[in-house]
Amino acid sequence: MARFRRRSSGESDAVSPDTGVEADALDQDAAAEPEDARTTSESAFDRTHGPFDESEAELADQDLVRVDLGSLQIPGLPGVGVQVEADPSTKEVRAVTGVGDQAAVQVQAFAAPRSEGLWDEIRAEMLAELANTDGAEVAEGIGSFGPEVKGVLPGRTAEGKPIRQPVRFVGIDGPRWFLRVVFLGRAAVEPDPEDALHQLVRETIVIRGESAMAPRDPLPLSLPEDAVSDEELEEDEVLEEDDGSEAPYADLDPFERGPEITETR
């Protein structure tokens, strides 16, 4: 049975999971622009190997067990904890985050137009907005998922210590949906297309549904039916990552924050 922990309002408003990786610590300029940073529609990501639409589910790895969150089916992978950010009162889920070794990835799905994608437009808006964010350094480039925005954003640890956090924003256009992906920590600075976090993105299945939705509206997410809240856990039950440390909390969106519920697998 999935077990969840709700963060109380008194806990620190951490910007991101404690991945243990800061921009300066790796002595890398995460905001450096690759030589070929020009992006066009021709550079759009080919989804042949995922992430998959519901109609393409048979192409996904059938051996993987997936967490059913309504519009997203997230694969359970060894060494990756799954965190679900939700409103503790309404149980409305906002995003899902996979946390690995000194790295994390957040996935959110949105409605998109039938005839065209959103990533080109959203990427341009993101670059313009982050250009006016104090302490942010970002640049456009090409990565394993096509056009991306890579850089460093200011943030704070759970203890309130200011940090410079490397991030990598990826957008994937699907049939009438858009998947926004944010890599954090080592996965932003030293991306490995073969690691578990990239596999999580590729093996995600998006359930768009037939309901009419305005472009950019978030696709509805829900908690698994067997989920229980922290009130139902025994006092000695503590949610932990694979390394035995207490599960961190995630928020990889620099523009918005909400309460969280956390699941680890």
Q: What pLDDT is stored for residue 19 in this prediction?
A: 57
Supply the pLDDT for residue 21. 55
pTM: predicted TM-score of the whole model, two decimal places: 0.74
Q: What is the mean pLDDT of residues 202-217?
A: 95
pLDDT value of position 115: 84
- pLDDT for res 110: 96
Q: In whole numbers, what is the pLDDT of the chain averaged over residues?
A: 76
At a CB cut-off of 8 Å and minimum separation 6, what does 22 contact?
Answer: 163, 164, 165, 166
pLDDT at 16 over 70: no
What's the whole-number mean pLDDT along residues 211-218? 94
- Which pLDDT does position 98 carry in this prediction? 96
Residues 6+ apart with CB under 8 A from 126: 138, 149, 169
pLDDT score, position 263: 39
What mean pLDDT do residues 166-182 have?
96
Per-residue pLDDT, 45: 79
Q: Write out pLDDT tens, residues 28-81.
A: 443 343 333 333 344 467 899 999 999 999 999 999 999 999 999 999 999 999
